[in-house]
Amino acid sequence: MLLLEGGLKSMTAPCARIRLLLPLSLFLLLAWVPLRVQAASGLPEPEDGYYVNDFAGVIGEKTELDLLHTGVLLHRLYGERLVLVTVPDTGDLSAEEYARSLFDSWRVGAEDGNGTLLLVSAGDGAYAAVRGPAAEARLGDARLSAILGTALIPNLAEGKANRAAASAYYALAQALDGVPGPAPGQALPPGDSSRYTADNAGVLDAAASRFINRTSARYRTSTGSGLYVATVNNGGGNTLPAYARKKLAGVGAGGDDVLLALDIAADDYYLLQGESAAGVLTNAAAGAVLDGRLEPLFAKGRYEAGAVQTFLGVYAYLLERADGAGGVTNAQAAASQAAPVQAGEPAVRSGAAAVGLAGGQARTFGEESEAAGGGTVRAALVVLCPLLVLLAGQSWRTVKRRTREQRRSRSNRPVPAAGWNRRK
């Protein structure tokens, strides 16, 4: 196992020094092992998503989700486990010792040696990178030093631990899979501007729609789920559940997909999960996200912000389960996704586009006349009838309907096991 470590205080050259570590079996013979084992016993457990562990709290949520998406795809497609850890400090241990202890304790790539752990200590600018034998074959000392010297060290020197960690993670991911991708911050290629959004109520600006469309298309490749957002006034002449089922079926969405419908005029919202998606995003989990992220903003008329926050919360939950690394219950994870994030977070684009995957070929999910009728609609309904039946099951949908007065006086009701209707 090879480890590279350094820090702003100890740095004497653009590249930090390389240390060759003895095999673990030899360390067991040394007298100081009991002390180190005792120190390691106080190490944190990995976060639910495993690949991104921001214990220092320096990475914004949008960036963190992109990093997690990158880690999931890197492991799924190439068998590489790339783990990022940020901490306020490393206590009595050096960055090298702390990183090595985490690497061993978390068994990063223990099955085949395809594991790399990057540690960034935000408080003092120290860092360390540990590689397993197989990862070292693709990420040699010179290449690792060059990546850290370009992506990590300059940002740490400017006190930008968030950008340092994210930029280095993307660069390491590209080095490990060998496929070039967009640099952090580089704009993504143009995409379908109406695929995952249908803003019939006119509450989403161009930036929010673009973010939802492009992010959903990317995260579908790692989670298997597309997340659609539709806004409407008075259900377009339908009940909101009927409208949501019609919209989701109308784009050929599958059982892994999810739709969030906001009825602005009716002061209502509704979350519909496909049958397979409901096995992961349960009603309890969805209800926690809606209560924590959407409800406070929706009640204030901040519909766009509520839609984006819900979008992030749902994908955070799905990404943490995309690779089977999460170890907490749905209810616990749902609660962790309830708190909204602050605006103005750093946005660093992911290099995970290097995997070259595209989302499913769903039809355009754009704006249309909600009152449209006639032979075209009737013919479409005949074709879509099987999908409407599939999406109609009450056991895997989540209903959220409340008046403003009910929301303001809401008590702590238990989340029901199936769909529910709170409008009396």
DSSP category for residue 151: I
pLDDT of residue 392: 40
Q: Domain limits of the chain?
A: 2-31+43-177, 197-408
Q: What is the structure's pLDDT at 109?
A: 87
State how far the Cα of 306 lies from the Cα of 294, in Å rounded to an integer.
5
Q: Could you give the dihedral angle defined by the CA atoms of residues 64, 69, 75 and 80, in that order, rounded to the nearest 10 degrees?
A: -40
- 3-state SS assignment for residue 88: coil
Max alpha carbon distance in the chain (Å)? 84
Q: Starting from the edge strand earliest in sequence, which strands make up the sheet with 52-54, in order?
A: 18-20, 2-6, 126-131, 115-121, 81-87, 52-54
219 contact partners, CB below 8 Å, separation of at least 6: 65, 69, 225, 227, 315, 318, 319
Full DSSP string of 240-298: HHHHHHHHHHHTT--TT-EEEEEETTTTEEEEEE-TTGGGTS-HHHHHHHIIIIIHHHH
d(CA 56, CA 169): 16
For the chain, give the mean pLDDT: 74
Q: What is the pLDDT of residues 267-312, one digit of tens each?
A: 999 999 999 999 999 999 999 999 999 999 999 999 999 999 999 9
What is the amino acid identity at position 172? L
Q: Evaluate if residue 372 carries a pLDDT over 90.
A: no
What average pLDDT does the segment 196-209 reach?
Answer: 96
Of the ranges 156-170, 187-201, 305-319, 396-410, which one carries the lowest mean pLDDT score?
396-410
3 state SS of 53:
strand
Supply the pLDDT for residue 6.
65
- Global confidence as pTM: 0.71
Instruction: State the Rg of the chain over Cα.
Output: 24
Range with the lowest mean pLDDT among 46-55, 59-68, 163-172, 402-411? 402-411
Percentage above 90 pLDDT, the chain: 57
The type of residue at 103 is F
pLDDT tens, 75-108?
A: 999 999 999 999 999 999 999 999 999 999 999 9
309-366 tens-digit pLDDT: 999 999 999 999 998 644 333 333 334 444 443 333 322 222 222 222 222 233 356 6
At which residue do the structure tokens 């070039």 appear?
Answer: 180
The CATH code of domain 197-408 reads 3.10.310.50
Asked whether this chain's domains 2-31+43-177 and 197-408 adopt the same fold, the reply is yes
| 49-81 residue pLDDT tens | 999 999 999 999 999 999 999 999 999 999 999
Task: Reply yes or no on domain 2-31+43-177 having CATH 3.20.20.10.
Answer: no
- What type of residue sits at position 376? T
